């Protein structure tokens, strides 16, 4: 099942009296090369983002500031992950439906992605995603 391949990734953290530094290198902490980054910010209370799946895209999602919940669904089961640490990411494999919600005030959601933006890679309809994920189409 795809859900089991999604996992929290502990990122390196270098901390001293000057603060902390974390980093991600493609092919090291994550199993893909980084082709794009994007970030969500200024998300009002109660608003949900995501609500789609990807055919090929792999991602690492990091709560760079604040916290939010990521719900992942592989078409058979779903699980939710509270992200609240800048030194931890959530690896999301292809063919996962995701919803992102409960943003704390000022939260910033950083996403490292394996491919450039391509609308053709999206499942925007849950039913369509479900059929594909269950091998019905």
Site for ligand TYD in 44-73 (CB under 6 A): 49-52
Q: Which of 12, 13, 20, 38 binds ligand TYD (CB under 6 A)?
A: 38
**By the rule CB under 6 A, 85 interacts with ligand TYD:** no
Could you confirm whether 54 is annotated as catalytic? no
One-letter-per-residue 3-state SS of 51-95: EEEECCCCEEEEEEECCEEEEEECCCCEEEEEECCCCEEEEECCC
CA distances from 95 to 10, 117, 119, 129 (A): 23, 16, 15, 8
Q: In the complex, what is the shortest distance from the CB of residue 109 to ligand TYD, in angstroms, rounded to a whole number?
A: 8
Q: In the complex, what is the shortest distance from the CB of residue 39 to ligand TYD, in angstroms, rounded to a whole number?
A: 9
Contact positions vs ligand TYD (CB under 6 A): 36, 38, 40, 49-52, 117
């Amino acid at each position: 099942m795809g859900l089991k391949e999604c996992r929290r990734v502990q990122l390196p953290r270098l901390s001293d009296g000057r603060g902390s530094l974390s980093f991600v290198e493609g092919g090291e902490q994550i199993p893909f090369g980084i082709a794009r980054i994007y970030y969500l910010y200024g998300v009002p209370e109660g608003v949900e983002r995501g609500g789609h799946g990807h055919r090929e895209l792999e991602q690492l999602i990091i709560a760079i500031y604040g916290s939010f919940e990521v719900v992942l669904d592989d078409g058979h089961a779903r699980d939710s992950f509270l992200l609240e640490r800048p030194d931890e990411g959530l690896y999301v494999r292809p063919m996962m439906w995701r919803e992102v919600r409960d943003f704390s005030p000022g939260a910033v959601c950083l996403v490292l992605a394996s491919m450039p933006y391509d609308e053709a890679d999206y499942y925007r309809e849950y039913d369509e995603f479900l059929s594909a994920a269950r091998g019905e189409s």
